[in-house]
């Protein structure tokens, strides 16, 4: 059984295919962590030794490895929960009440010893993926409001010191820059305080014991929350490393009303002793199986770089015809189709079709796109409003603001207070009307600025994103075929909270094909390839000013869900021909890329090769990139991963059709040599 209980010792065991997670109730009634690691079947072997305080400055409460530490008493460590009761008491004392088991979910019931306040710890198992989803729910059974000042969803105990911590840093145009640093004494914090999105850090943790791609112990967790989060990593004085993650307590206060419940966002967590590759596969498989909409993502064309705000029906039809010619399956009109939207300063909030640009509405364009056999998509930014819009003039009180302060604009925008029922209703009705009026298949939902002047409700930071989730969920119920893309001024909204509610991630506004290799590599550690939108765009790139050959640009973008953002009106005959060939090639290998297992392949060459591989059943695809040749022009031997060792694979390289066993390809590999700057190759392997 996956969930086990030793009633004699009051110890609980959670077992996946390869791991065990064990905790128990000790003599003081505290929920104490015991073990997280490789699978141990016999729960009766575990016990809860009596803990003694080190001194009067190191009480039992301080040294006990609690599953869910709360604020109060002689606890000075990081706590997951802090509340204020109506009579002024500002500490919790919990007692163990009991447990429930619902299919693959264990619930530990705790309650305050004096107040009618319950804490429920939830553990849900995904056995095949070796993952545990953890969260906490609170219930106020009293007659008074209880203020929740801090709530982290879970605490994790790792029985090692001097671990390596990994996350990403970055900013707009440079998101997903992976970093690793050694954990020592003191605390490490990753967080977001902006409300809407962050390009700086991401809501997950990876802690490893000098692991590699294929070996070593890795502990990890991804928070299912967009918006304000915080994560704390601490190496304690008692020989372990702690991790907490949840809603950021910065400027946060949730007023839990009488008889109401609150459920915190969950954390998808796991352990492996097989390195980062196994971690990524487990998370990717979880997402593909439990969150992502089934079916392949279409090849899209987006008209932004071709037209920017100068959108008109005739030119969009011209673009659509060329997009169809090269093989696009989805045509997306970006910003500029609505209101008086001729710059970033106007129109946002006035969601009516611009009659000067589309005299007969969007229908003539959509009809043309549909007649070509393509899907149709459109860009929106529903959370924002321009001060110059009619919407703002009519509803000045709909934005986040303080009456006595001037409200900050950013990118010429205010943020709508979506937690107001009338604002939520407006956004839903606007999008519902758009989707009901027009045959739209794809919504690109953008969000280009953070929240400021957030008002008096300190829970607004969390409530805002919950409203966005609710709107999209309701829209998808009524319009189930529509795909939604999460965009936040680039890759600001990449997280497991929005994944599954939205179908695609816009990874970065930086579409430089060389920069994207690093961005996409960092993304792949936690997030599934299927949801990663990657575009081919014009050169010189608007950010890097680099000129990169079109084949390299396509190959870089073909590593995810392929999109094209070039001004294809300026394409030469050769560009059209090559685009058509490469998109056709992508469609053949797309099931392997979007639905297969992803491998980061290490390089043994003095040259700076970048190698990535995908495997699905009896097929594999290898991407090889050489951004710049170094002196000596050395090649590379690539040892493939994940093949069936006894099967013979056929593949074409340099015009030769070759046959090799999976065993040979994984142990010896293949010798490859790219030449010059920005050379790249894709090799497709199939079992004979």
Q: Is 445 annotated as a binding residue?
A: yes
4 has which bridge partners?
13
Cα–Cα dist 480/491, whole Å: 25
Residue 598 near residue 529, CB atoms below 8 Å = yes
Chain position carrying tokens 């000790």: 26
Record the tokens describing residue 604, joined without a space: 């043994």
Closest by alpha carbon to 129, among 272, 288, 282? 282
Please state, in angstroms and rounded to a whole number, the distance separating the CA atoms of residues 505 and 534.
9
Residues 6+ apart with CB under 8 A from 572: none
Question: Token pair of 405, please?
Answer: 């302060």
* Cα angle 44-47-50, degrees, rounded to a multiple of 5: 165
446 is catalytic: yes
Closest listed residue to residue 535, CA positions, set 328, 372, 336: 328
Q: Is 350 annotated as a binding residue?
A: no
User: Are 16 and 127 within 8 A, CB to CB?
Assistant: yes
Type and span of the H or E element at 289: helix 275-290
Quote the tokens at residue 621: 């695809």
Q: How far apart are CA 127 and CA 122, in angstroms?
A: 16
* Torsion region of 295: left, alpha or beta (phi above 0 gives left; psi -120 to 50 gives alpha): left
Give the helix, strand, coil percentages of the chain, each rounded to 5. 20, 35, 45
Phi then psi for residue 294, to 5 deg, are: -65, 160
Using CA atoms of 251, 257, 260, 263 in order, give the dihedral in degrees to the nearest 10.
10
Cα 359 versus chain centre, distance: 39
Q: Any known ligand binding at 18?
A: no
Distance of CA 414 to the CA centre of its chain: 25
Question: Torsion angle of alpha carbons 309, 315, 316, 319, nearest 10°?
Answer: -120
Among candidate residues 499, 501, 508, 555, the one with its CA nearest the CA of residue 527: 499
Where in 525-618 does DSSP place strands (E)?
532-536, 561-564, 597-601, 610-616
Contact 56, 74 (CB under 8 A): no
446 is in an annotated binding site: yes
CB of 349 closer than 8 Å to CB of 385: yes
Structure tokens at 667: 């142990």
Q: Residue 246 and residue 640: Cα distance in Å, rounded?
A: 38
Q: Which of 526, 547, 551, 528 is nearest to 538 (CA)?
A: 547
Instruction: Please tell me whether residue 66 adopts helix, strand or coil conformation.
Output: strand
Residue 477 annotated as binding site: no
Q: Phi and psi dihedrals of 219, rounded to 5?
A: -115, 135
Is 44 flagged in the annotation as binding?
A: no
Selected catalytic residue, list 446, 504, 512, 597: 446
Q: Is 444 annotated as a binding residue?
A: yes
Which one of 26, 503, 509, 679 is the catalytic residue? 509
Q: Is 509 assigned to a binding site?
A: yes
Whether residue 411 is annotated as binding a ligand: the answer is yes
210 labelled binding-site residue: no
Cα–Cα dist 217/309, whole Å: 50
DSSP assignment of 500-547:
TTBSEEE--S---HHHHHHHHHHHHTTS-GGGEEEEE--SS-TTT---
Residue 345, exposed/middle/buried by CB under 10 A (0-12, 13-18, 19+)?
Answer: middle
Question: Which SS3 state, helix, strand or coil, does residue 419 take?
Answer: coil
Which neighbouring-strand residues pair with 105? 102, 124
Binding residue positions for substrate? 172, 334-335, 411, 444-448, 487, 509
Question: What amino acid positions are annotated as catalytic residues?
Answer: 446, 509
Binding residue positions? 172, 334-335, 411, 444-448, 487, 509
């Amino acid at each position: 059984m996956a969930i086990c209980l030793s009633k004699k010792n009051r110890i609980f065991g959670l077992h996946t295919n390869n791991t065990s997670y064990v905790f128990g109730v000790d003599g003081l009634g505290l929920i104490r962590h015991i073990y997280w690691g490789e699978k141990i079947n016999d729960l009766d072997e575990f016990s809860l030794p009596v803990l003694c305080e080190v001194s009067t400055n190191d009480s039992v409460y301080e040294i006990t490895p609690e599953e869910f530490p709360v604020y109060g008493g002689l606890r000075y460590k990081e706590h997951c929960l802090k509340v204020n009761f109506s009579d002024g008491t500002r500490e919790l004392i919990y007692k163990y009440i009991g447990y429930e088991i619902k299919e693959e979910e264990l619930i530990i019931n705790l309650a305050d010893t004096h107040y009618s306040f319950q804490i429920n710890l939830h553990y849900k198992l995904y056995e095949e993926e070796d993952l545990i989803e953890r969260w906490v729910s609170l219930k106020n059974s009293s007659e008074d409001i209880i203020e929740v000042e801090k709530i982290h969803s879970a605490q994790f105990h790792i029985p090692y010191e001097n671990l390596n911590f990994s996350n990403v840093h970055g900013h707009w145009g440079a998101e997903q820059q992976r970093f690793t640093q050694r954990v020592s004494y003191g605390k490490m914090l990753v967080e977001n305080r902006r409300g809407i999105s962050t390009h700086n850090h991401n809501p997950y943790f990876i802690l490893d014991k000098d692991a590699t791609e294929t070996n070593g112990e890795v502990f990890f967790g991804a928070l299912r929350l967009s918006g304000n989060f915080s994560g704390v990593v601490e190496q304690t004085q008692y020989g372990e490393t702690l991790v907490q993650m949840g809603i950021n307590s910065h400027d946060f206060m949730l007023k839990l009303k009488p008889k109401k419940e609150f459920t915190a966002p969950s954390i998808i967590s796991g352990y492996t002793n097989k390195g980062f590759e196994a971690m990524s596969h487990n998370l990717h498989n979880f997402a593909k199986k439990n969150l992502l909409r089934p079916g392949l993502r279409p090849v899209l064309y987006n008209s932004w770089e071709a037209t920017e705000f100068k959108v008109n029906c005739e030119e969009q039809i011209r673009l659509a015809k060329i997009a169809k010619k090269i093989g696009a399956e989805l045509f997306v009109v970006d910003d500029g189709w609505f209101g008086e939207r001729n710059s970033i300063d106007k129109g946002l909030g006035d969601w009516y079709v611009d009659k000067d640009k589309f005299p007969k509405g969007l229908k003539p364009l959509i009809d043309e796109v549909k007649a070509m056999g393509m899907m149709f998509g459109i860009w929106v930014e529903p959370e924002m409003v321009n001060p110059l819009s009619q919407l703002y003039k009519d509803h000045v009180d709909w934005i986040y603001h303080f009456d006595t302060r001037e409200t900050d604009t950013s990118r010429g925008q205010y943020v709508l207070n979506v937690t107001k029922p009338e604002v939520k209703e407006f956004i839903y009705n606007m999008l519902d009307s758009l989707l009901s009026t027009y045959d739209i298949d794809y919504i690109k939902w953008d969000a280009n600025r953070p929240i400021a002047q957030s008002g008096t409700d300190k829970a607004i930071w969390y409530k805002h994103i919950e409203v966005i989730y609710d709107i999209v969920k309701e829209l998808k119920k009524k319009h189930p075929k529509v795909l939604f893309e999460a965009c936040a001024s680039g890759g600001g909204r990449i997280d497991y909270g929005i994944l599954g509610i939205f179908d695609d991630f816009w990874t970065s506004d930086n579409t430089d094909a060389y920069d994207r290799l690093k961005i996409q590599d960092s993304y792949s550690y936690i997030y599934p390839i299927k949801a990663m939108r990657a575009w081919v765009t014009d050169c010189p790139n608007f950010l890097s000013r680099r000129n990169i050959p079109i084949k390299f640009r396509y190959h870089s973008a073909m590593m995810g869900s392929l999109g094209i953002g070039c001004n294809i009106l300026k394409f030469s005959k050769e560009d059209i021909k090559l685009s058509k060939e490469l998109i056709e090639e992508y469609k053949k290998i797309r099931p392997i890329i979007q639905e297969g297992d992803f491998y980061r392949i290490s390089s043994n060459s003095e040259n700076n090769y970048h190698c990535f591989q995908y495997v699905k059943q009896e097929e594999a695809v290898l991407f090889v990139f050489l951004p710049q040749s170094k002196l000596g022009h050395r090649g590379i031997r690539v040892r493939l991963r994940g093949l069936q060792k006894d099967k013979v694979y056929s593949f074409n390289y340099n015009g030769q059709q070759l046959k090799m066993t999976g065993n040979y390809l994984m142990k010896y590999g293949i010798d490859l040599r790219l030449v010059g700057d920005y050379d790249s190759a894709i090799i497709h392997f199939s079992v004979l």
